[in-house]
Structure 1
């Protein structure tokens, strides 16, 4: 009941503002031109303004009960609105009864001032206390229609304050701030951002898929729980990628970008924050095909995300995508057929699931644009490697923790674009390396198992030997 009636408040609240201002203008005109016959028009304007002000007070009360707003500011807005309605009633009564004529104009001035104050407090409740000054921050930037974070050195930037917070401030703070907390969720302070709202914890540091924030951001735009609401400006794919990366990296509020892990997929997105001249079109990283591609099918994206997979863009102004099945629970080989509608857009696929084996390769190899493929800790064998030679654009391959042998890796010798292979903890032996380098010239084959030298400046912990 509260919600239904309360949400009519924005419909009615603008009516008394316009009608009462009209009454003020008409009375001002009458004072300048006493011969003007506008007395009835003033009375009618006051009547309609008075009724709509009363209705606005009623619906505003119900709205304050059905949503989460700052109590002090709601009280200010409420009593100012009541004052507008009461003064409109008194002024209308005096004019109809033709009493207190000398007070009509001063009361009209007070009424207009109250209308302005009430509107200002209402605007602060719904749009934030800086809603009046916010547009002026864009003056001098040359573009007041789009806000873009420009960072001189992104690696030295504060990960939250300079990369993530500006996105949240632009797209989320208007509904989740000190004055208004939809769903009991406030985002303008780090502790409250982590705490979440009525539906649960918003952020789980280190696990982007678990918290309520990322779940709601990735819901289809038409879903009633999607954030932001579909009628408000939406986060771009780049902004989603930055928030996902920040949460997955630990959701630190004080670390710099350089202190957080940076998967290859996010490096180009971070680099895009370093302001290139506007006259230059953004260049795609080498691992992304230069040819533009159409937008991926939304229903296909949804089916993959329903598996628990994470799909993110590779860079700004590009429809190319990365998909990670690392956290996809219950994934099976035949589920990989779901990526086929996205075969034109996919450039990076990450598996990391032991249940994935050679039978899944028949789906992967149909995605001809893939330059990067991570099959680490899967069940792929030499038989699956034989199928990968169909990926003529493959540049990067990770087969760490698999049963692939040197014979299986040699089957990729026809891939002229291949540059890096990571094969730590496989069945490839050191004795095989000479033959592999001859078969794959120009390919960096990384077998891992590094030993880090001890420096004189390192701290060494000495423990006593266990006594028998």
Structure 2
């Protein structure tokens, strides 16, 4: 009983060492799979007379399969202490894994020179032991996949007629596929816009069978409930909600979601989720029932094929009707020099066309975290074609912005988590088409916001975790009343500025 209590306490509060070694389970578990399959195939080959191999070689393979299976069990147990797995499947996976190790040891023991002769009926035990270890290996692998990816991971895409022959129910396409949106104004915000994002980016790790952090995101009720740290969103407070905060953290941060290595949310998807929460996180309202601001309007328009969104509704700052398309997106531009494109690719930058049959480009440094000021000198070689530039989480400083300022058709600029300061923003004054600027996690202050006031085309700016003050933002809103500001203020102030223009109290 005392041992059981101690095990319960250990599982309730696992140490960092336990979780550290537990993370090696996916690595170690591949070793017994390989060893046992090789042993099985070699034995089949010997039985058919196609393979010639010594008994000692088979014995050695079985020994290491047993050792690695045992280690996989130990590390698997340590991994399970972190929680977030469906208990019934976890228990089956655990006992199947133990069974693999036990029968692998039996197969090795009856095959070995110094134990085999001492075990009664050893020759009769060998084939059943090896066969059972292989069968349990397949079962444990199936349940391991179910724990990680869901119970239907192996069978989800089984085609007909095999699906019917195996007794697998028809695929539930409607549960994972987004419904087509013909009129975005009449689209159900959660069902047709928010839930498809969650299904494609979040539910894989937060579902009924795998709930990392005790969080499920597969149903509205579970989404409202939150996880072990409480609710993940607060209706009306998008940038203050944990769900959005974690998406905005650097990819390298252990708390960033989705984790590094998983497909990340796009800027547009984060914008949609933030807007949904800001508007009350309703699960039954349509787009037409909510306020559509200038930041989300073009994103919604793209979902509906580019038609008008929120026609007649008032956007942040008082404008109404659909937002005009940026002129740089429809300009006829010369094609980029292939040699220059190759230069950019050699420093690990992604060079992506914005649309077919057009020459506007997006330059993305997602794979170039060491991108520097010196390398930024390559950018002006495509001064006309670069329309979107994503340099977040790189090594650039204010010096690089002198090169960025030469990109006369720039519409979107990402500088989040870089070392740019107010001095760098001063160099951006000439970017007449700049509409989107992300300064999250930089050292920008109110003085930098004064420089932004000269960017008359600016529509959206991210200021979360910067050094700006409410007074500085109020002054910026005074100069750019239609500007959508994300972050940088407390939730109450954000809500006030999203509804009305600055009051007399904010004027100098």
Question: What is the TM-score of this pair, normalised by structure 2?
Answer: 0.58
1:158 touches 1:256 (CA, 8 Å); kept in 2? yes
The structure-2 alpha-carbon separation of the partners of 1:153 and 1:232, relative to structure 1 and needing over 3 Å to count, comes to same
Aligned match of 1:437: none
Aligned counterpart for 1:16 among listed residues 32, 47, 59: 32
Larger radius of gyration: 1
Change (3 A) 1:35 1:232: closer
Cα distance change, pair 128–273 in 1 and its aligned pair in 2 (3 A): same
Matches within 5 A, 1:287-306: 287=326, 289-290=328-329, 292-298=386-392
SS at match of 1:126: helix
Match of 1:125 in 2: 147
From 458, 467, 471, give the equivalent of 1:370: 458
CA distance in 2, matches of 1:202, 1:302: 33
Pairwise CA distance, 1:239: 1.1
Structure 1 position 183, deviation (Å): 2.1
Question: Aligned partners of 2:139, 2:126: CA distance in 1, in Å?
Answer: 20
Unaligned runs of 5+ in 1: 138-146, 277-283, 304-317, 324-334, 351-357, 386-397, 404-425, 427-468
Deviation at 1:369, TM superposition (A): 4.2
Find the aligned partners of 1:381 and 1:84 in 2 and give their Cα distance: 66
Pair 1:201–1:102, CA change in 2 (3 A): same
Distance in 2, Cα, partners of 1:372 & 1:208: 15
1:32-47 matched pairs, under 5 angstroms: 32-33=48-49, 36-47=52-63
Counterpart of 2:325 in structure 1 is 286
SS of the equivalent of 2:435 reads: strand
1:211 to 241, 266, 269: 241
Which residue pairs with 1:5 in the alignment? Answer: 21
* Structure 1 residue corresponding to 2:66, chosen from 50, 53, 56: 50
The Cα of 1:107 is off from its aligned counterpart by: 3.7
1:306-356 per-position Cα deviation (integer Å, ceiling 9, x unaligned): xxxxxxxxxxxx962699xxxxxxxxxxx9878557764741689xxxxxx
Q: How many equivalent pairs are there?
A: 342
Establish whether residue 221 from structure 1 lines up as the match of residue 251 from structure 2.
yes
Partner of 2:296: 266
**Kept after mapping to 2: 8 A contact 1:46/1:92:** yes
The question of whether the paired residues in 2 share the 8 Å contact of 1:340 and 1:366 is answered with no
Q: Where does residue 219 of structure 2 map in the other structure?
A: 189
Match of 1:464 in 2: none
* Distance apart, 1:69 and its partner CA: 1.5
CA RMSD, Structure 1 to Structure 2 (Å): 4.0
Q: Is the 8 A contact 2:425 2:448 kept in 1?
A: no
Change (3 A) 1:248 1:338: farther
Q: In structure 2, how many angstroms separate the alpha carbons of the residues matched to 1:340 and 1:134?
A: 54
- Superposition deviation, residue 178 in structure 1: 1.8
- Structure 1 pair 319/114, CA: closer, same or farther in 2 (3 Å)? farther
Judge conservation of contact 1:203–1:211 (CA < 8 Å) in 2: yes
Secondary structure of residue in 2 paired with 1:264: coil
Q: 1:340 to 1:235 in 2, by over 3 A?
A: farther
Name 1:394's counterpart in structure 2. Answer: none
2:29 partner SS: helix
1:248 equivalent to 2:278? Answer yes
What's 2:381 paired with?
A: none
- In terms of mean alpha carbon deviation, does 120-129 or 336-345 score higher? 336-345
Alignment partner, residue 450 of structure 1: none
Q: Give the distance between the partners of 2:237 and 2:231, measured in 1 at CA.
A: 12
Q: Does 1:116 align with 2:148?
A: no
Cα gap change, 1:359 to 1:210, in 2 (>3 Å): closer
Match of 2:188 in 1: 158
State the 1:240 CA deviation: 0.9
Query: How far apart, in 2, do the equivalents of 1:156 and 1:257 lie?
Result: 6
Kindly provide the CA deviation profile for residues 358-383 of structure 1, in whole angstroms up to 9, marking residues without a partner as x. Answer: 9988513442643799x9x956899x
- Are the structure 2 counterparts of residues 368 and 211 from structure 1 closer, same or farther at C-alpha, using a change threshold of 3 Å? closer
User: 1: CA distance between counterparts of 2:226 and 2:200?
Assistant: 19
1:59 aligns with 2:68: no
2:412 is matched with which residue?
A: 320
The aligned residue for residue 106 of structure 2 is: 90
Q: Secondary structure at the match of 2:236?
A: coil
Q: Verify the 8 A CA contact 2:389 2:413 in the aligned structure 1.
A: no
CA distance in 2, matches of 1:102, 1:118: 25
Unaligned regions of 5+ residues in structure 2, if any?
1-16, 160-176, 307-322, 330-359, 361-385, 398-409, 416-420, 439-445, 462-470, 481-498
Pick the aligned partner of 1:234 from 260, 264, 274. 264
Contact 2:100 2:132 in 1 (8 A): no
TM-score scaled by structure 1? 0.63
After alignment, is 19-28 or 30-39 more displaced? 30-39
Q: Distance in 1 between matches of 2:270 and 2:134?
A: 44
